[in-house]
Amino acid sequence: MGSERQVASTKIVMGNWKMNGSAAKVATVLTALPSFPPNSDITICLPFPYLAQGVQLLDDKHCVVGAQNLSEFADGAYTGDVSASMLADIGCKTVLIGHSERRTFFAESDEVVAAKLTRAKHARLRCVVCVGETLIERDSGLAQQRIQQQLNAVLKQLDSDAQALAFCVAYEPVWAIGSGRAATEAQIAEMHQFIKNIIGTKFPVLYGGSVTDDNAANIMGIANVDGVLVGGASLDASKFAAICNEGLGK
Ligand code: PEP
């Protein structure tokens, strides 16, 4: 593991399985995960059909289950959608909102992301709002402008009574997701500072985009990085456990 940098305090580690896996894979990977210490802040976001299975398997491991999406509507005639209250009802604790794959492939606008945040908040789910710029936006010098725009849509909801741990931002540059090319230390530090300046320091900001067991410790050691959102590497129990342990400073 390339952990050259020491992680100072417990970090948030979230896995995102995307549309991968099967009941058998969920059972194999989650059973292979160790039991983490009680102060851990670890979540695995599974596909909808496996959420209840995940809740059961992780019951005593100090690792909670999250969803990757939710409906912008409360309930009713929305065939195929899954509501925030349904997620909470089955023991799901967290939900990703506005992942770039949802924004890109399902045309989720900033307004839809904001509506989903409202639903998740009312159901008392921890909300992880994902933001990130495309490569074209970065190369055109528009990265910060895009992030500001995405955050503006949800800022109104960060009222003074918003619980610090009930809301996180995940900064995930679109070009770094699944590409094997994580953002550089300087790019991460600059954008996390920018985001903290906008949302305030009490809300955690995670980094996502090609995080592995090799680079996780370094990334979590960067200023203003409160944790990581891990896609591909979260499908492998030993890699994900290694990243979680880096987050615990082990
Ligand atoms: C993600 O799915 O949010 C992600 C960051 O994926 P990966 O770690 O595979 O780049």
Q: Do you know the residue count of the chain?
A: 250
Pocket test for ligand 1, best of 13, 14, 16, 181 (most atoms within 8 A of CB): 16
Residue closest via CA to ligand 1's atom 1 equals 231
Residue closest via CA to ligand 1's atom 3 equals 231
Pocket test for ligand 1, best of 12, 18, 188, 207 (most atoms within 8 A of CB): 18
Backbone angles phi, psi at 117, to 5 degrees: -60, -40
End-to-end CA distance of the chain: 12
- Catalytic one among 72, 133, 137, 172? 172
Q: What is the pLDDT of residues 35-63, one digit of tens each?
A: 999 989 999 999 999 999 999 999 999 99
Q: Is the pLDDT of residue 232 over 50?
A: yes
For 103-124, what is the mean pLDDT? 95
For 172-196, what is the mean pLDDT? 97
pLDDT for res 1: 40
The 3-state DSSP class for residue 210 equals coil
The whole-angstrom separation of Cα 181 and Cα 187 is 12
The whole-angstrom separation of Cα 61 and Cα 93 is 14
168 lines ligand 1 (CB under 6 A): no
pLDDT for res 7: 62
Q: What is the mean pLDDT of the chain?
A: 94
Q: Is the pLDDT of residue 8 over 90?
A: no
The whole-angstrom separation of Cα 164 and Cα 202 is 6
Q: Is the pLDDT of residue 197 over 80?
A: yes
**Helix axis angle, 23-32 to 237-247, nearest 10°:** 40
HEC profile for 94-158? Answer: EEEECCHHHHHHCCCCHHHHHHHHHHHHHCCCEEEEEECCCHHHHHCCCHHHHHHHHHHHHHCCC
Q: What is the pTM of this model?
A: 0.95
The DSSP result for 10-26, as a single string, is --EEEEE--S---HHHH
Which amino acid, residue 16?
A: N
The whole-angstrom separation of Cα 76 and Cα 126 is 23
Q: Is the pLDDT of residue 4 over 70?
A: no
pLDDT for res 94: 97
